[in-house]
Amino acid sequence: MNKATQSYAAFIRACSLVGLVLIWQLVVVAIEPDLLPSPLTVLQSLWTHIESGDLPHHLAVTLKRIAISFAIAMLLGSALGMLMGRYKHLDLWLDSIVTLALNIPALVTIILCFIWFGLNEFAALTAVVLNKTPNIAITLREGTRAIDARLLAVGRAYRVSRLHTLTRIYLPQLYPYFLAAARSGLALVWKIVLVVELLGCSSGVGFQLSLFFQFFDITSVLAYTLAFACIIFAIEAAILRPWERRVLQWR
């Protein structure tokens, strides 16, 4: 993708966001302000929460939980998925278990972790990891199954070491699957983290949203949501998209 195409894509994305804000403002005019505050009101509330220090603190706590649980889930899910894709016998043993874990509602896992481990950080992180790991494992399993067998045969013919087979044959072909797992994982993990914080934590964005809900403070809910969305957009633009362009440039 050349620079002109990238600039055009960025322009279209910006226009779509501006259009969303305009639609938001039109809806505000048509209904009661108490039900949906205007974009300007939300921005003012956002600035107030930033100045008070509450938003930066709780946002940092949530982002820390997301980073830790996301990294653990990616590591465990990737290793499990690659092993299942490589060894058919192991896949037969674990397929039903992973499929079952994949279909258990996130809320059930969260509640069970809080009952088993208490209302603490370990339970919160464990709940998130258990919810996301099966999805990553399935993605990487399918990627491992799609590895070009001819390249593996060439590697065996030239007696390539296992380490080089992993780094020179497996990983380059698995990069698109890692990317897909990372993007879907980030989208899912932060949502689960918010639910975890809402149900059993005393800090974080989810905890704050539960307080705003009790006071019917829609403006603050939207202010925190806006701040969080901006962070996720920044991660997408600064990390995931450049990574995507780099690992897929050989195509």
Whether residue 251 has pLDDT greater than 60? no
Please state the domain count of the chain.
1
CA distance 71 to 58: 20
Query: Is 21 among the domain residues?
Result: no
- What does the pLDDT read at residue 6? 64
CA distance 102 to 134: 5
Query: Is 118 among the domain residues?
Result: yes
Residue among 79, 69, 94 at smallest CA distance from 137: 79
Kindly report the number of other CB atoms within 10 A of residue 244's CB atom. Answer: 18
What CATH number corresponds to the domain at position 196?
Answer: 1.10.3720.10
The angle subtended at Cα 66 by Cα 61 and Cα 67, nearest 5°, is 100
CA distance 29 to 17: 19
68-106 pLDDT, tens digit each: 999 999 999 989 998 988 888 888 898 889 889 888 888
Query: Is 67 among the domain residues?
Result: yes
- What does the pLDDT read at residue 73? 92
108 φ/ψ sector (left φ>0, alpha ψ -120 to 50, else beta)? alpha
Query: Is 221 among the domain residues?
Result: yes
Provide the angle, in degrees to the nearest 10, between the axes of the packed helices 218-235 and 39-52.
80
Per-residue pLDDT band at 247 (split at 50, 70, 90): low
Query: Is 170 among the domain residues?
Result: yes
Whole domain around residue 224: which residue ranges?
A: 53-247
- What does the pLDDT read at residue 71? 92
1-59 pLDDT, tens digit each: 556 666 777 778 778 888 888 887 888 787 776 778 888 888 898 999 998 888 899 99
180-219 pLDDT, tens digit each: 888 888 888 888 888 898 888 888 888 899 898 888 888 8
Q: What is the DSSP string of 101-112?
A: HHHS-HHHHHHH
Query: Is 19 among the domain residues?
Result: no
Query: Is 44 among the domain residues?
Result: no
